[in-house]
Amino acid sequence: MIIVSSCLLGVCCRYDATHSIDRTILSLADLEAIIPVCPEQLGGLTTPRPPAQIVKGSGIDVLMRKAKVIDSENRDVTSNFLTGAEMALLIAQTLKIKKAILKERSPSCGVHYIKKGDLLTKGSGVTTELFRRNGIRVISSAEINKEFLMS
């Protein structure tokens, strides 16, 4: 089984109520059971919602309480992001899932990059970091390969 960001599967759960469907990921359903998750919705945020970004750090800093997640209306939504990451982790642990494919650039799911305003910066999202801390291998949709599926 693999956890996948719901938006990559065509679910309109992004902040702007759209999706980021990835047909390659959809085709994985023939090989693996796919469990869709949207940490931001699991954390209680609505869809649509104001876009958010991690301020003064990345996902690891949010987990260490050294950074916050602030939306475009200047609201602190850090607790929503933490709760969503914890709920996604609970799903993974309950189902004994050790692999995840998450949406790059997201403050929740970014694997190598997160958006800060209009800029793309190195760093990872809150859920990605929590997964990594708990032994879940995380890749972005651009990194899918047979080795990942077989490992």
Q: Write the pLDDT tens digit of every residue in 108-148.
A: 999 999 998 889 999 999 999 999 999 999 999 888 865 56
Residue 5 pLDDT more than 80? yes
Pick the closest to residue 6 from 117, 89, 100 (CA basis).
Answer: 100
84: how many CB neighbours lie within 10 A of its CB? 25
Q: Give per-residue pLDDT as tens, 6-65.
A: 999 999 999 999 999 999 899 888 888 999 999 999 999 999 999 999 999 999 999 999
**Contact present, 25 and 33 (Cβ < 8 Å):** no
Q: Give per-residue pLDDT as tens, 63-104.
A: 999 999 999 999 999 999 999 999 999 999 999 999 999 999
**Contact present, 50 and 40 (Cβ < 8 Å):** no
Q: Report the C-alpha gap between 148 and 82 in whole angstroms.
A: 27
